[in-house]
Amino acid sequence: MPSGTFVIFLVQRFPEPGGRRKYYKTEDRKPRGSRDERADPVYTSIRLTGEGAPAGFNHAAMTHRKGVRIEGLWHGNVITEVVQQSKFDAYFDLGNRIFIARTEKNIGLSAVKDLNEDEALREFFQLRTVDLDFRQIIPRAINVIGSWFKGMRYTNIRSEAAFGDQINRDAEFTRLSGLGQHSNLLVVLDFNGSAIKVNLSRVGSTYFMEDYPLRTCLEFMVYLLNFQTSQPPAIQPAN
């Protein structure tokens, strides 16, 4: 079974794991656009557990509640939204200024956005997404198996995809790279002597295509910080 998806964030401000406060929660609020005063609240919480992480990392348990628009019936009543609750693990290494959410990309991005924007938590959390430079990654790859391109120029086609063994050596791949921007890359990279097969997005969402130990996944995510388009600003202490 594949190891699943991990999403990288750069730490600009974060509580020290050895501090007295362990639990942080955004303010309860109604789902965006909801007119129902009885609607279930949405929020994001994070608990610094101090346990269950490989050496070199700290563990956090997160809950993210988000309103989702739907159309349907519930016990004969028309419903237009539900609250989706996701619980997932996160890991952080303040020495490397990295926070890693083990969840789907859209959930991880939404949860971190809540932490960043909550008025009471801004003094504790500031995390930002990375911008991976695929032009640095492709030459180091053992094999480039697939790529998605977006923002295609000189054509009415908005996106393209290419798949195959060693496609980065193909002239068509070079042509597509010149027309658009890589948005995702399916690639095999050498990491500490092991071939790691992943699907990468530019914002650092990484889906491991095979089963790898948790420590390997986390250390690989730290390795990806070498391929940013720019270096992050200095870390700021949490108040």
Whole-angstrom distance, CA of residue 182 vs CA of residue 176: 9
pLDDT of residue 78: 56
Q: Where are the alpha helices (DSSP H) in the chain?
A: 105-117, 134-137, 171-179, 214-224
What are the residue ranges spanned by the domains of the chain? 4-129, 134-202
All residue ranges of the chain with pLDDT < 50 are none
Rounded to two decimals, what is the model's pTM? 0.85
Question: What is the per-residue pLDDT across 192-210, written as a single tens digit (0 to 9) for each?
Answer: 999 999 999 989 999 999 9
Assigned token pair, 89: 């693990």
Q: What's the alpha-carbon Rg for the chain, to the nearest Å?
A: 20
pLDDT of residue 238: 61
Sole residue written with tokens 């608990």: 47
Question: What is the per-residue pLDDT across 40-65, written as a single tens digit (0 to 9) for each?
Answer: 788 999 999 988 899 999 999 999 99
- Number of neighbours of residue 1 by Cβ within 10 angstroms: 5
pLDDT of residue 191: 95
pLDDT of residue 151: 64
Whole-angstrom distance, CA of residue 206 vs CA of residue 6: 5
Whole-angstrom distance, CA of residue 99 vs CA of residue 191: 20
Q: Where are the alpha helices (DSSP H) in 68-138?
A: 105-117, 134-137
Distances (CA, A) of 197 to 27, 64, 169, 190: 39, 29, 18, 9
CB 145, CB 165: distance < 8 Å: yes
pLDDT of residue 68: 66
